[in-house]
Structure 1
Amino acid sequence: MQDWIVSIPWWGYLLFALLIWALADILQKKHAIKHNFPIVGHFRYLIESIGPELRQYIVANNREELPFNRRQRSWIYASSKKENNYQGFGTDQDMSSAGYVLIKPSMLPRRLPDSHPHSIQNNDHPLHYTLPGAKIIGLHHKRSRPYRPKSVINVGAMSYGSLSANAVAALNRGAAKFGCYHNTGEGGLSPYHKLGADVVFNIGTSYFGVRDAQGNLDLQKLVQLTRQNPNVRMLELKLSQGAKPGKGGVLPASKITPEIAEIRQVPMGQDIVSRPYHTAFSNIPQMVELIEEMAEKTGLPVGIKSAVGKLDLWEELARTMVETGKGPDFIAIDGGEGGTGAAPPSFADHVSLPFVYAFANVYKIFQRYHLTEKITFIASGKLGLPDKAVMAFAMGADLINVAREAMMSIGCIQAQICHTNRCPVGVATNNKWLVSGLDPALKSERFYNFVKTFNKELIEITHAAGYEHPCQFTMDDVDLSMGDNNLTQSLHLSHGYEKDKVPFDSMQALFSCNHLGGEPSAPKKPA
């Protein structure tokens, strides 16, 4: 026996050691890269560990990568892992560069009583990191099931199919733990959207999950879906998205599984190409009537999601709402910066306005018609960082939808191959081997940690500015650097409007309401 062992060449021991190493990588669930690419996956972490030095001296600095630079991604990764996400030795940004966001703190920050859940003495309070929405969605139009979101930060529209089952499950479980709602994206309601979180059901141009044999909207199926799934709290009619407005979505045949085909009610083996337009309506009055019919039959608040370009139909929508008293309960504005959907470069780079211009243009229209108090404005487009969220709230947003940043919190490394079915970390693929590396239980905790930290820093910035809730930010609280002569201008001056004041009493009043995420009732007075 000993002679046999001695006769084994040195490379035999090496192969055996590599085999054990590979098995250990495959069996672990903590790192998808190591699971999906045993042994060689370790090089990714090695290179990442010296990445800042390589970029600084050879390639690029921490602020040059796009869509999200290394500093932004590092904050998301560290927050999701409960690691140190602080920054030492001051900022490395050019604070005089054009478009740089400067948030103005108050000389005397907000001081809260020790009994307040957001007080620094109450880190263990169950509501310490909670920021409910200031508005009740659907209350103005008297929907039978109005909704106040339990969190101002929520999961934006990402379909099952575009994302893997494990990724959707991780986001839903994490959202349920924190209190976010979870937007389904236009791919339909999957079993992985039913793990505890409130759900916004997104209805795209192909009406996946609620369509008839010809691919048109079947209202009876929609009503049945909402009755069978009480966790569906709002309906979102998707007109377009920031990545490709005016172009239908595409799900390659390689990403379609029998389960996805069943959920979407489409055949196997061929690309799913959505129409760029709706067949259930063709003009603003018809769209408003459909919104009212859906709301009447389901009892749920109904809103629209759109990228922004020409403004004539937005004017018509606002005018129709004033004349009829009908219309959407919420409007989600998607910035043209692109998102989780793949698109031709010409669309991703040039079609539709970026968020700051898109939102400002639409808000000013509804402000002119005195409708801002009656509508909840939802903002999306690279807003999953506290400073960007503050800017959006200052401009008039009531809620923030986070998509790509949520993907990064559960492992996305910005490989930008989401449309190829080769996502190396199992987030945006349906390849069984690659998906198996993403552990929903672990990643749900990562998303929970991310959104918890996001809310914590948002609360702290709010207090630093002298406020209690981010809905109180005004456009004079945020300056933009103009990039010339080191001058700055407030959002008020640069965009030409001041947002309307959002009705808000106190956080204590919100916490005392027994309808967070539920039905409205009279708020209890603070003790």
Structure 2
Amino acid sequence: MINDLMDFIKDLPWWVWAIGFFVLIAIYDIFFNRKHTLLHNFPVFGRARYFLESFGPPLRQYIVANNREELPFNRRERGWVYASAKNVNNYEGFGTDQDIYHENYIFIKNAMIPFKVPEKHQNKRDPYFLASAKVIGEYNKRKRPYRPASVINVSAMSYGSLSARAIESLNRGCKKAEAYHNTGEGGLSPYHQTGADVVFQIGTGYFGVRNEGGSFSMEKMVKLTETNPQVRAIEIKLSQGAKPGKGGVLPASKITPEIAKIRHVPLGKDVLSPPNHSTFSNMAEMVNFIESIAEHTGLPVGIKAAIGKLEEWKELAKIMKDTNRGPDFITIDGGEGGTGAAPPSFADHVAVPFIYGFTDVYKIFLEAELTDRITFVASGKLGFPAKAAMAFAMGADVINVAREAMFSVGCIQAQECHTNRCPTGVATQNRWLQAGINVTNKADRVNYYFSNFKKELLEMTHAAGYEHPCQFNMGDVEINLGDRFIAKSLGETFHYEKAKVPFDSVETLIGCPNLGGSYRKGEKTEVKEVETKDTSVSDQ
């Protein structure tokens, strides 16, 4: 009897099995599913709806949307980074496909006769050498002032938010490209220690330099800088573009023994990263904190913030003017920043975009005659030569890039950063997913991205008649306000003129004793020319 029943079941056609499967799903949804009304009311069809919805984002990203339509980075932008990182042809043919009459479109004004680099000034070692025109910490006479060997560098992204292999790839790539690597607020991990200059970021949780109770430890700060000479500057994070003024929680489930050791946090407990600092509560106390760290470590100290209200910035400028004390550099992050996971309300609406925030703050320090003592670091979707040129024209001295650098190590903008399911292994702690990252290969891609970025920025600078991007001024860039007759220069639009940056020639930067990167070590840097035989711009 049982054998006959088994034979009967085995002989059933596939479509009967399929119907039975869907009937079981329908029974479950109708009688047992109390969480989803749609599934209860429309069993099977409701699940088909959710299944198709899950394909919506990648379908729109790769098939439906046009090349210039996607956000936060469109296909053309990602394609340029991928091609540059692979060191293949990153040109485009048949003219631009951008709507050059669109509002806020920027135009870089070229000179009739481009700048010609004198033969004796050409850098044979690195044709794309582009160091900062300013020395960070020089005005305040820090013991170890720092001139970044690259004006393009990696912005703050912590180990924990990015995978170990992604961090190591970025650091090794930065070493090759002479760029510095900002640690983010998650502490100095072993993956940040493969040779590149490092900017150590202090967040509100004081990870890596905190006492057992979570307060800041100057003793640990000093020990960290003494044992890690590659740390060239310290950045105090006040806020970030993705979620300004919002703290966070590191769940106990995500704290591995390695992360606990790096961040100096306990295992088995949730760790709070509050929205504000416990060490200071106003501008005067913050300046005291900055000066204390600089005195104990000898390093330049700066601050990072997304921009909103300006009253406290005016107060900071007044304190600096009156006391000759304060930050050596200011990193201004645009509200469009996005490497930190955030609620849509914060990501979409809190803090102003980079171009507004930077101009607002720069004008404050310009009016106070303080721009000569501060290095302005710009951040917020500036990982493209034209946008970088615009930032320099506005007063930026150094550019930090985050998501664009992630593209160079394989990020495909899957927007799964907050789920721990990043398919390329860049923003996940899943060992299987990050195992696909070849650190050696990705480090080369980071190097090529930065090298090709600097190459194109230099060519654009020379086309405008200058030797170094620091020479760009507000009149060199126009922004389209909707009609040719009301298109205005940046100076006319934002009502200020950038202060002149002291600069002689690139040749004089090479011999600077405070120059970072391998220049301070006498190491040889190898930079390859762009190859055009492979025209693929795929991400992986």
Please report the TM-score for the alignment, with normalisation by the length of structure 2.
Answer: 0.83
Partner of 1:279 in structure 2?
278
1:133 has 2:138 as partner: no
1:82 deviates by 1.1
1:178 deviates by 1.2
Q: SS of the counterpart of 2:474? A: coil
1:60 deviates by 2.0
Partner of 2:297 in structure 1?
298
Q: Deviations over 1:400-425 (max 9, x none)?
A: 00110000000000011111111001
Q: SS of the counterpart of 1:372? A: coil
Partner of 2:159 in structure 1?
160
Q: Deviations over 1:144-183 (max 9, x none)?
A: 1001110100110000000000000000001011110100
Note if contact 1:254-1:421 (Cα within 8 Å) is conserved in structure 2. no
Tell me, in whole angstroms, the C-alpha distance in 1 between the residues paired with 2:458 and 2:289.
38
Q: SS of the counterpart of 1:182? A: strand
Partner of 1:23 in structure 2?
none
Partner of 1:111 in structure 2?
116
Tell me, in whole angstroms, the C-alpha distance in 2 between the residues paired with 1:475 and 1:168.
36
2:85 paired residue among 56, 80, 83 = 80
Tell me, in whole angstroms, the C-alpha distance in 2 between the residues paired with 1:117 and 1:252.
52
Note if contact 2:197-2:517 (Cα within 8 Å) is conserved in structure 1. no
Whichever of the two has the greater Rg, that structure is 2
Tell me, in whole angstroms, the C-alpha distance in 2 between the residues paired with 1:158 and 1:334.
13
Q: SS of the counterpart of 1:337? A: coil
The residue identity in structure 2 corresponding to 1:435 is Q
Q: How does 1:459-470 map to 2 (within 5 A)?
A: 459-470=458-469
Partner of 1:325 in structure 2?
324
The residue identity in structure 2 corresponding to 1:336 is G
Q: SS of the counterpart of 2:360? A: helix
Note if contact 2:425-2:435 (Cα within 8 Å) is conserved in structure 1. yes
Tell me, in whole angstroms, the C-alpha distance in 2 between the residues paired with 1:415 and 1:486.
41
- Structure 1: which 5+ runs fail to align? 1-47, 119-124, 522-527
Tell me, in whole angstroms, the C-alpha distance in 2 between the residues paired with 1:92 and 1:350.
30
Tell me, in whole angstroms, the C-alpha distance in 1 between the residues paired with 2:343 and 2:253.
19
1:256 deviates by 3.1
Q: How does 1:463-502 map to 2 (within 5 A)?
A: 463-484=462-483, 487-502=486-501
The residue identity in structure 1 corresponding to 2:108 is I
1:267 deviates by 2.9
1:115 deviates by 3.1
Note if contact 1:249-1:341 (Cα within 8 Å) is conserved in structure 2. no
The residue identity in structure 2 corresponding to 1:398 is D
1:253 deviates by 4.6
In 2 relative to 1, CA 93–519 (structure 1 residues): closer, same or farther, beyond 3 Å?
A: closer
RMSD: 2.0
1:116 deviates by 2.9
Please say which of residues 487-496 and 228-237 is displaced more in the overlay: 487-496
Please report the TM-score for the alignment, with normalisation by the length of structure 1.
Answer: 0.85
Partner of 2:104 in structure 1?
99
Note if contact 1:147-1:519 (Cα within 8 Å) is conserved in structure 2. no
Number of residue-to-residue matches in the alignment: 464
Tell me, in whole angstroms, the C-alpha distance in 2 between the residues paired with 1:460 and 1:254.
49
Tell me, in whole angstroms, the C-alpha distance in 2 between the residues paired with 1:520 and 1:117.
16
1:425 has 2:444 as partner: no
Tell me, in whole angstroms, the C-alpha distance in 2 between the residues paired with 1:193 and 1:486.
50
**Identical-pair percentage:** 63
1:269 deviates by 4.4
The residue identity in structure 2 corresponding to 1:490 is S
Q: SS of the counterpart of 2:167? A: helix
In 2 relative to 1, CA 316–293 (structure 1 residues): closer, same or farther, beyond 3 Å?
A: same
Q: Deviations over 1:340-391 (max 9, x none)?
A: 1010000000000100000000000001110000100000000001011001
Which consecutive aligned stretches of 4+ in structure 1 deviate over 6 angstroms post-superposition? 518-521
Note if contact 2:175-2:518 (Cα within 8 Å) is conserved in structure 1. no
In 2 relative to 1, CA 65–520 (structure 1 residues): closer, same or farther, beyond 3 Å?
A: closer
Tell me, in whole angstroms, the C-alpha distance in 2 between the residues paired with 1:181 and 1:369.
29
